[in-house]
Structure 1
Amino acid sequence: MIATALGQLLGCAPGPTPVPTPTPAFASEEEAFAAAEEVYRAYNDAGNARIRGEAEPNPQIFLAGLALESDIDAQNSLREWGLRASGEATVVTFLGTNASIDDRIAEVTGYVCIDVSELRVLNSDGVDVTPPDRGDIVSQLVQFTGDHSRLRITLESSADEGSC
């Protein structure tokens, strides 16, 4: 208290505390799109590992929100129905479409084209029950939320085939 009063008398009173400017999540849309693609490819690789029966990496570490809930529900349904996946999915392309990067937390959206021609659905007897009308390439609209250190998939839904 005495130091503050003395500082005011001498003209050295502390000014208002500066408010830090939030650091944007990414420096550019291109950087955000590249990070989103990297996350999706790692997620796809983890999904392929899960199909092979490997415990790590768990694909759910790349998910949050509705995407995580959907994955949990899908895994439970597969077990309940006695189904399992076999084979592998491959990311063909990623096209970033929107990136809100000005805040500390970014929102990024993009289309992912996935080659599922080697991915099959098998029943408990090992019989292939993959829908015969499923195409070899599927298109997904994917939303991500986070920053440069922790971008996660928050929503994934089917997109028009024309986006691939």
Structure 2
Amino acid sequence: MSQAPRRTAIALIAALTAVVMSGCGAPAPTPTPTALSEAEAYAAAEATYRAYVDALNRVDLSDPTTFEPVFALTTGEALAADRKTFSDMHARAYSVSGNTRVQSIVDRRFDSSTGVVELAVCQDVSQVHVVDESGNSVVSPDRPDIQQMRLRAAPLSSGATRALITSFGPDESGVKC
């Protein structure tokens, strides 16, 4: 299998951040600067990430309408990446089974002027399988069962219990899963 489809599958599983149809659905709301406390901002970001994983676990790659709940929890880079990844996986007729489980979430950074937080997250993807239309796995045999990443999230408004995920990336904080 070429590296491009394998990277695409890993992108879904690693961040479980991805989906379809670049023009589908209403645009996600834009986070606004806020006067949230640090604890409120972290709580909103964690709740959003947990909702994001729940939405990812309900994605059916053959049905782009199932991508919308994922898109509703992201904005900016994260939304663009999700739309591209899901679109690609849908076009390739991939299917996904199994669930990602949140293993841990560690608060990393807080910007008091914007309420933006950074979290280090560990997720168990050992039960997640992605196959092509012939039933062949597109998951790297080297994929770790427990994956670590960094995410940033911005609250929607002052006092909000919800945030939007703005970006995902590798976690280089030193936190171990």
Give TM class, smaller chain.
Answer: 0.7 to 0.9
Instruction: Say whether the 8 Å CA contact 1:138–1:161 is kept in structure 2.
Output: no
Could you tell me the TM-score, scaled by structure 1's length?
0.75
| C-alpha distance in structure 1 between counterparts of 2:127 and 2:170, whole Å | 19
Q: Which amino acid aligns with 1:126?
A: G
Alpha-carbon distance between aligned partners in 2 of 1:109 and 1:66, rounded to the nearest angstrom: 14
Matched ranges for 1:1-164 at <5 A: 24-27=34-37, 29-51=38-60, 55=66, 58-101=69-112, 103=113, 105-146=114-155, 147=157, 148-149=159-160, 150-160=162-172, 163=175, 164=177
Structure 1 distance, partners of 2:49, 2:55, is 10
In structure 2, C-alpha distance between the alignment counterparts of 1:106 and 1:160, rounded to whole Å: 21
- Structure (1/2) with the larger strand percentage: 1
SS in 2 for 1:32: helix
1:80 is displaced (CA, Å) by: 2.8
Aligned to 2:8: none
Helix, strand or coil at the partner of 1:58: helix
Higher relative contact order (CA 8 A, sep 6+): 2
For 1:95, give the aligned amino acid: V
Root-mean-square deviation (CA, aligned residues, Å) is 2.4
Query: Which runs of 5 or more structure 2 residues have no equivalent in the other structure?
Result: 1-32
Once residues 82 and 57 of structure 1 are traced to their aligned partners in structure 2, the CA distance between those partners, rounded to angstroms, is: 18
Q: TM-score, normalised by structure 2?
A: 0.70
Structure 1 spans left out of the alignment, 5+ residues: 1-22
Instruction: Give SS of 2:141's match.
Output: coil
